[in-house]
Amino acid sequence: MNIVLLGPPGSGKGTQAKMIADKYKVKHISTGDILRENVRNSTTLGTEAKKYMDAGKLVPDALLIDIIKDRLAKPDVRSGWMLDGYPRTLPQAEAMGNIMPGLGQKLDVVLNIDVPDEELVQRLSGRRMCKCGTSYHIQFNPPKETGKCDVCGEELYHRDDDKAEAIMQRLETYHNQTQPLIEYYSKKGVIANIKGSGDIKQIFAEITKVLDKF
C-alpha cells in the first residue's frame, strides 16, 4: 500500500505516521526529516535548504523531486511507502505521478488531515521533537520523562521553524501552495478526509477505517 499524508504544518502527520507505519508495515518517508538530517550534517543540500526552512518557505521543487526520485527507487520501499510532507506543490505531485509508473508503483490513497489554523499555532509552539522523528507536545502529548524521548531516550529539541513568525509563514505557504493539492487529488478520486482535531488515538482509529480497505 502506498499512502500520501497531506495536511498543514502541525496537523499531526508525523504523529499519525509513526502509528500507521507500525500497523501497516509501510516505510515512513518524511521529507522534513530528510532535510533536517541534511541540515544537521551540513551537507550541500542541508545548507541550501536551511535558509528556506527557517523562514517557513518551501525548499525549491527541483531539490525535493530529486530526493523523492531517489528514495522511491530504494529496495526498502517495495512493500509499501507513506510520504509525509511530499508532495507540497502541484509540480511535485505531477513529478511523482511521472516517476511511479517506471518503478511499477501507484498511489493508493491520500489522507487529508484537516485542523483549524488556531489549533495549529498552539500545537506547533508547544511541540518538542526528537532526532528519531518522534514529536511530543508539552501539554497535549508530553513524554514520560520531561525533555527525553520515550522511544530512544535522546534529548528533545525545539525546531527552529516552530517560532511564532515562521509558524505564521508556514501556514500561509500551506494555504497558497499545498492546499490546491486537495482538489488535484479529489479529481483523481484518491482523497480520504480525516478530521485531525481531538484525541490522537481516536484520529488513528478513523485512519485505520480508511486504510483497512486496502
Closest CA to 194 of 119, 86, 114, 110: 114
- Residue 71 designated active-site: no
Which residue of the set 57, 71, 159, 163 is catalytic?
Answer: 159
Q: Which stretch binds ligand AP5 (CB under 6 A): 11-19, 20-28, 146-154, 204-212?
A: 11-19
- Residue 159 designated active-site: yes
For ligand AP5, the binding residue among 121, 190, 200, 210 (CB under 6 A) is 200
- Residue 40 designated active-site: no
Pair 65, 23: CB distance under 8 Å: no
Total number of residues that touch ligand AP5 (CB under 6 A): 35
| Strand order through the sheet with 2-6 | 27-30, 81-84, 2-6, 109-114, 191-195
Which residue of the set 50, 123, 127, 128 is catalytic?
Answer: 127
What is the CA angle 1-100-23, rounded to 5? 20
Cα 74 → chain centroid:
19
For ligand AP5, the binding residue among 4, 20, 95, 137 (CB under 6 A) is 137
Core vs surface per residue 51-82: b (16+ CB within 10 A) or e: ebbbebbbbebebbbebbeebbeeeebeebbb
Which residues in 95-134 contact ligand AP5 (CB under 6 A)?
123-124, 127
- Residue 36 designated active-site: no
User: Which sequence positions are flagged as catalytic?
Assistant: 13, 88, 127, 159, 170
Q: Which residues bind ligand AP5 (CB under 6 A)?
A: 7, 9-15, 31-32, 35, 52-53, 56-59, 64, 85-86, 88, 92, 123-124, 127, 135-137, 140-141, 161, 170, 198, 200, 203
